[in-house]
């Protein structure tokens, strides 16, 4: 079934449910994360204090993080640089190339890295096809940029399908 490529291994209500402890339990040493509506609202330019703390906690636990975003250089760079977090912009997810580049730069293997994001069609599909453990987060904001709005329509249908089949339990 092709749809299984859209099924995340795990889903959480927010990025803050992902802690160094829960990752360490599974031997995870790295995170590839989406930016818009995963870390902050798509239209918020900078990280929140709580998010800055989240990045610090990861760093203190030797968990590497790379931001991999389909958004443009200006957006991704302006957000990531003040945090000192490596980033890849115009990543073209669900294509696998940016994920491979992030792995190489972190010096990690697929099975010790998780892919986190808020979209089935880019983050989850891309992560699954490249062999990562994938984590879907509930989007930080209810609104989206123009392209994402179209993807959401498709996504809602897929999520409804999974729900009906009992493949995910989603309380929202």
> Which residues of the chain form contacts with Mg ion (CB under 5 A)?
34, 36-38, 118
State how far the Cα of 133 lies from the Cα of 130, in Å rounded to an integer: 9
Furthest C-alpha separation in the chain: 43
Which DSSP category does 70 fall into?
S
Query: In the complex, what is the shortest distance from the CB of residue 37 to Mg ion, in angstroms, rounded to a whole number?
Result: 4
Q: Of the two residues 37 and 66, which places its CB atom closer to Mg ion in the complex?
A: 37
Q: Of the two residues 19 and 151, which places its CB atom closer to Mg ion in the complex?
A: 151
Query: In the complex, what is the shortest distance from the CB of residue 119 to Mg ion, in angstroms, rounded to a whole number?
Result: 5
DSSP string, 77-135: HHHHGGGT--EE-S--TTSSHHHHHHHHHHT--GGGEEEEES-IIIIIHHHHHTT-EEE
Give me the count of residues in the chain: 172
Which DSSP category does 66 fall into?
E
Q: Of the two residues 88 and 112, which places its CB atom closer to Mg ion in the complex?
A: 88
94 preceded by a cis bond (ω within 30 of 0): yes
- For 115, other C-beta atoms within 10 Å of its C-beta total 28
Q: Of the two residues 36 and 155, which places its CB atom closer to Mg ion in the complex?
A: 36
Query: In the complex, what is the shortest distance from the CB of residue 44 to Mg ion, in angstroms, rounded to a whole number?
Result: 12
Which DSSP category does 38 fall into?
T
Query: In the complex, what is the shortest distance from the CB of residue 144 to Mg ion, in angstroms, rounded to a whole number?
Result: 8
Query: In the complex, what is the shortest distance from the CB of residue 158 to Mg ion, in angstroms, rounded to a whole number?
Result: 16
Q: Of the two residues 63 and 91, which places its CB atom closer to Mg ion in the complex?
A: 91
């Amino acid at each position: 079934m092709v749809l299984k490529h859209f099924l995340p291994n795990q889903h959480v209500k927010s990025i803050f449910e992902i802690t160094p402890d829960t990752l360490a339990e599974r031997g995870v040493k790295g995170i590839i994360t989406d930016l818009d509506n995963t870390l902050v609202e798509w239209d918020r330019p900078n990280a929140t204090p709580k998010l800055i703390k989240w990045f610090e906690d990861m760093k203190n636990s030797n968990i590497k993080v790379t931001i991999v975003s389909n958004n443009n250089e200006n957006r991704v760079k302006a957000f990531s640089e003040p945090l000192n977090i490596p980033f890849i912009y115009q990543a073209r997810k669900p294509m696998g190339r940016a994920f491979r580049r992030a792995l190489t730069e972190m010096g990690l293997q697929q099975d010790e890295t998780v892919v986190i994001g808020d979209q089935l069609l880019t983050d989850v599909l891309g992560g699954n096809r490249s062999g990562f453990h994938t984590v879907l987060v509930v989007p930080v904001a209810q609104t989206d940029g123009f392209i994402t709005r179209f993807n959401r329509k498709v996504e809602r249908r897929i999520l409804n399908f999974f729900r009906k089949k009992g493949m995910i339990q989603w309380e929202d």
